[in-house]
Amino acid sequence: MSGRSGPFDELGELFDRLARQLETAARSWETEVDDRSRLDLSMRGSTTSLDLTEEGEAFVVTVDVPGYETDDLEISLVDGTLRIRGERTQEADREDEETYIRREREMRSFSRQVRLPEPVDADDVDATLNNGVLTISLPKLEPDGNGHTIDIE
């Protein structure tokens, strides 16, 4: 009876194939940027929420960063991609673990990236931190009205 297949053999193969496809999709999500929303889909374990909105002549990125101070955050703009990193360090006066009865708050770091849909004026970017909400205003780059002609050879 060893040559006879069991009733669940095909079902097992189906689950194996599905698992491989999901792994492939997850790997592509980690490395590719979704062109429809221009947001990086890879959260990399981060629970940091992010919104990108278009408000008139600027893009506004809003990020929830509760518990982070200004010195804990790093913002950069490289090749049309906004990068936001945050890292909290352990408080020096709470190093003694024995003083805790219960400890659920973790010291975490995060990293998020947003590909902007249009060029922005990097010299005029404004960032504020208020009550655990980071707001970054990125004015759109004014189109150069001069233009140039192209000769046909």
* CATH number of residue 79's parent domain: 2.60.40.790
Number of residues written out for the chain: 153
Is residue 1 domain-resident? no
Is residue 101 domain-resident? no
Q: Which residue has the tokens 């004026």?
A: 121
Is residue 149 domain-resident? no
Phi, psi angles (nearest 5°) of residue 114: -135, 125
The model carries a pTM of 0.61
Nearest to 109 by CA among 42, 46, 43, 51: 46
- 8-22 core/surface letters (b: 16 or more CB in 10 A; e: else): eeeeeeeeeeeeeee
Is residue 97 domain-resident? no
Position 27 scores a pLDDT of 63
Which residue did the predictor score with more confidence, 51 or 3?
51
Which residue segment(s) compose the domain that 20 sits in? 9-92+106-139
Position 109 scores a pLDDT of 83
- pLDDT > 70 in the chain, percent: 70
Is residue 135 domain-resident? yes
47, pLDDT greater than 70: no
Position 9 scores a pLDDT of 75
3, pLDDT greater than 60: yes
Is residue 153 domain-resident? no
Evaluate whether 76 touches 12 at the Cβ level (below 8 Å). Answer: no
Evaluate whether 132 touches 65 at the Cβ level (below 8 Å). Answer: yes
Is residue 71 domain-resident? yes
Evaluate whether 77 touches 122 at the Cβ level (below 8 Å). Answer: yes
Nearest to 108 by CA among 46, 64, 49: 46
Position 96 scores a pLDDT of 59
Which residue did the predictor score with more confidence, 82 or 23?
82
Return the C-alpha torsion angle 114, 127, 124, 141, nearest 10: 30
Longest distance between any two alpha carbons in the chain, whole Å? 82
**What is the overall mean pLDDT for the chain?**
77
Is residue 148 domain-resident? no
Hey, what amino acid is at 124?
D
Number of domains making up the chain: 1
Write out pLDDT tens, residues 48-71.
888 999 999 999 999 999 888 999
39, pLDDT greater than 60: no
Q: What is the mean pLDDT of residues 91-115?
A: 72
